Structure 1
Amino acid sequence: MRPSKHTFLFTLFAFLFTNINLQAQTLASAEATRTTLIEHIVKERPVLMELMTTAGLIPVLSGDAPYTLLAPPEAELSALKNQPAEQIRLVMAGHILKGKYTEKDLKDGAKLEALNGKTITICRKKGTLINGVSIAKADTEVNNGIIHTLNGALSY
């Protein structure tokens, strides 16, 4: 028994729709991994970009070396705008880790050194906490690192 034209067309349409959807997802994923930390910040986080510029950290996040950015909310960053450049650099560098750390890599009790030389502590008791601040959105992967959006700014 031969399949009808309708069955054939339906199967063809389903195949094409699935294939196009998979290609779109692959392209979106490839685009994210071609973007650098700075390119992502320019597109998504204007206040963070302004502070990184003031702090002189653009070259660090633009290169090939892997970094993990712990990005506080824009509203909290706005309060830093009127601070001296050295204070902004200290705070912003405190939200950057050398190396690429996914949320899974952040082990309970781990102590990691931020770019400003200060130590941050990881707690995995109730979600992932970094110096007591929870991760709102984990593992935004870019070409030269990972971005974790935090629910607040880190304090030391």
Structure 2
Amino acid sequence: MKRIIMISTLVLATFFIAMAPYSISTQNDDNHDIVSIAQDTDNLSTLVAAIEAAGLVDVLKGDGPFTVFAPTNAAFEALPDGTLESLLMPENRDQLVKILTYHVISGEVMSGDLSNGMKAGTVEGSEVTITLGDFGVRVNGANVEAADIDASNGVIHVIDAVILPPQDNSGY
């Protein structure tokens, strides 16, 4: 019993320490939509630049609700050299939109709603798979670093990798 209490305390402490970089002021929750929270979070500045380049700002400021799996700056930096720069070019906007909308689920999905092996349809049209285990929560293999960041139009879960939609190998 003592061990369970100690482990639970350690897990909660780790969660609150991990959440610290994602804390924002919520004095006026009506103005803290998904985009505003990302803009106020230094560790999500690359995501904000990608959202702007893709022309998705107004969509993600909309009514929602949305669930966004938000890759950190480090997640974008881990992409192969030149990938991010290429995606941010106007001629690659369609590909960027496809990747970013693969990180969005229509509706609000909180961490307590998740189950191991759960599949969730994305705005892009494909599904992501949620895995729960000793390692924590993963979305298509990306680790959830911070969960349940409440926004006026949904929720943000910060992840440590950029997840990519499945390739269309149909030849069309």
Q: How many residues matched?
A: 129
Please state if 1:81 is matched with 2:64: no
Q: Percent identity?
A: 26
Partner in structure 1 of residue 114 of structure 2: 106
Partner in structure 2 of residue 64 of structure 1: 63
Shift of 1:47: 1.5
Between the aligned partners of 2:129 and 2:45, the Cα distance in structure 1 is 28
**Cα pair 1:32 1:141 within 8 Å, conserved:** no
Question: What is the one-letter code of the residue matched to 1:43?
Answer: D
1:135 to 109, 130, 144: 144
**Cα pair 2:75 2:160 within 8 Å, conserved:** no
Shift of 1:61: 0.7
Between the aligned partners of 1:33 and 1:123, the Cα distance in structure 2 is 32
Q: Which runs of 5+ in 1 are unaligned?
A: 1-27
Residues 115 and 30 (structure 1 numbering): CA distance in 2 closer, same or farther, change over 3 Å?
same
Please state if 1:38 is matched with 2:25: no
Please state if 1:96 is matched with 2:104: yes
Moved more, 57-66 or 40-49: 40-49
1:153 to 156, 162, 167: 162
Q: Which has the larger radius of gyration?
A: 1
Partner in structure 1 of residue 14 of structure 2: none
Partner in structure 1 of residue 9 of structure 2: none
CA RMSD of aligned residues (A): 1.8
Shift of 1:35: 0.6
Q: 1:34-66 deviations in whole A, cap 9, x for unaligned? A: 411111122223211111112121122111120
**Once superposed, which parts of structure 1, at least 4 consecutive aligned residues long, lie more than 6 Å away?**
none
Length-normalised TM-score, structure 2? 0.68
